[in-house]
């Protein structure tokens, strides 16, 4: 863990948090709510718990990804690794669950697309910040 740049991890986590705000806000909120069966006007709990928890989980994901990349990752390799991680591990794993849960392809594309971009951003930021 000594090779991890925690400022870069913090920036990567913040990027995912901002991406999520756009992705699940103006870009896909209505479609996501419809496909997930969520009332867009209902509260799912206290916002501090939800957003705070989401940010902590983004920090964990960014830190583990930084550890996975290792010290001084080349920018191109870091970005490609992020995209492959998001699509090949996270989105594919979601796909398995979504198949068994009978969830829609549209919901999988929204959620899998977010996580693919999330890890691609992690790779970009960590690769630039080495």
Whether 28 is covered by a domain: the verdict is: yes
pLDDT in tens, the chain (130 residues): 678 999 999 999 999 999 999 999 999 999 999 999 999 988 878 888 989 999 999 999 999 999 999 999 999 999 999 999 999 999 999 999 999 999 999 999 999 999 999 999 999 999 999 7
Whether 1 is covered by a domain: the verdict is: no
Contact, 65 vs 12, CB < 8 A?
yes
Domains identified in the chain, total number: 1
Instruction: State how far the Cα of 14 lies from the Cα of 8, in Å rounded to an integer.
Output: 10
Task: Give the other-Cβ count within 10 Å of 53's Cβ.
Answer: 11
What burial letters (b/e) apply to 76-96, b meaning 16+ CB within 10 Å? eebbebbbebbbeebbeebbe
Range of the domain at 38: 6-129
Whether 78 is covered by a domain: the verdict is: yes
Lookup: tokens for 100: 């068994």
């Amino acid at each position: 863990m000594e090779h991890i740049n925690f400022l870069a991890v913090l920036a990567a986590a913040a990027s995912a948090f901002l991406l999520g705000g756009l992705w699940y806000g103006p870009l896909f909120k209505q479609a996501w709510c419809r496909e997930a069966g969520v009332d867009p006007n209902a509260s799912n709990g206290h916002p501090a718990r939800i957003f705070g928890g989401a940010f902590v989980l983004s920090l964990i994901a960014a830190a583990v990804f930084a550890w996975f990349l290792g010290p001084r990752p080349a920018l191109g390799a870091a970005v490609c690794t992020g995209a492959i991680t998001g699509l090949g591990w996270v989105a594919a794993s979601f796909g398995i669950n979504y198949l068994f849960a009978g969830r829609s392809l549209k919901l999988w594309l929204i959620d899998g697309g977010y996580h693919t971009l999330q890890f691609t951003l992690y790779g970009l930021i960590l690769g630039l910040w080495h």
